[in-house]
Amino acid sequence: MTGHSDLADIGVDIFFAISGFLITGSYLRTSSRAHFIIKRALRIFPGLLLATLFSVLLVGVVATTLPLNEYVFNSVTATYLLNALLLTHYLLPGVFADNPYANIVNGSLWTLPFEALMYSGIVILGMLKLLKRYAVVPLFLLLAIGHFILLPALETESHTLSKLFRLGLDFFSGSALYLYKDRIIWSWRIALGLFLVSLVTLGHDTWFIIHALSLPYIALCFAQAKTPYLCKAGKYGDFSYGLYIFGFPIQQLLVLWLGADFNLAALIMLSFIITLSLAFLSWHFIEAPAMKLKTRWTTPSLVSPHIQKV
């Protein structure tokens, strides 16, 4: 713990920074906005629909303490299905009430609406011809001012607004790094130095600022490192999304069955193996086939090209 973030928060920060880098590149390489939007939708929604149905029809059915007919026809069960539309709901009736994370079926889903909002921001910037170096850096600075100065001054308790500024800062820092990627010195030595500075300031009031400003560079520097074994793993498929959306309910289910005092290392390994298996199936039978549809549903005539110099 840092006093500001835990490891889960840091993981989300890394994800959004890398996402900002990749999504900016994807937008600038895509022939039309319609094509970009369809690609993003095909990447998010098929897997999300599967994960939502998995939670309702399998996890909820085996975990609920209610009679099956009461569970199935409960309005809360129907409401949970809205997760497939990025309308986040965590509860299923009678499910995980006694777990340490009580009543939370899939706590990972909260980030997806924010991710979709960031995609929308990229599209809007592109439409306004502002997805360029001179515009994204001021946006990054405005988000930093909002996060570090405005929100503390307002003493707001709005978690949504706080997350919006924080994740926007992560995402558009990644976007800025993409736009300046050919002018940046990508060095693991610099990344290690920034990491050490962050480590030294851990627990201090300045840590979060240092963390927010250095983490995107550190994450992207190491993400671009040539690691043969990790690079080869990609040939089997992209399981990252499946790992993310299936991991939480699997962990909750294992805690329910094995108990909260079950060996942590064994729990992590077991949940990883099960979740990876689900991610493998999701990728090969749902996500990858859905991604292939983009070539059928997008044509150059849908929207005029928007590729621009950065």
d(CA 248, CA 103): 12
The tens place of each residue's pLDDT in the chain, 310 residues long, gives 344 556 788 889 999 999 999 999 999 999 899 999 999 999 999 999 999 999 999 999 999 999 999 999 999 999 999 999 999 999 999 999 999 999 999 999 999 999 999 999 999 999 999 999 888 888 888 888 888 888 888 776 778 888 999 999 999 999 999 999 999 999 989 999 999 998 888 777 777 788 888 999 999 988 877 665 555 656 778 899 999 999 999 999 999 999 989 999 999 999 999 999 999 999 999 999 998 887 665 544 444 444 444 4
Task: Locate 101 and state its tokens.
Answer: 């994370």
Burial of 24 (0-12, 13-18, 19+ CB in 10 A): buried
Angle, vertex CA 126, rays to CA 160 and CA 286, nearest 5 = 70
pLDDT for position 122: 96
pLDDT for position 234: 64
pLDDT for position 82: 98
Q: What is the pLDDT of residues 87-119, one digit of tens each?
A: 999 999 999 999 999 999 999 999 999 999 999
Q: Are 183 and 25 in contact (CB under 8 A)?
A: no
pLDDT for position 126: 95
Angle, vertex CA 271, rays to CA 6 and CA 59, nearest 5 = 105
With residue 38 as reference, give the H or E element that holds it: helix 33-54
Burial of 287 (0-12, 13-18, 19+ CB in 10 A): buried
- How many domains in the chain? 1
Determine the structural domain holding residue 146 and report its residue range. Answer: 1-310
d(CA 89, CA 81): 8
pLDDT for position 229: 57
d(CA 198, CA 204): 10
SS3 198: helix
Phi first, then psi: give them for residue 165, nearest 5 degrees: -65, -45
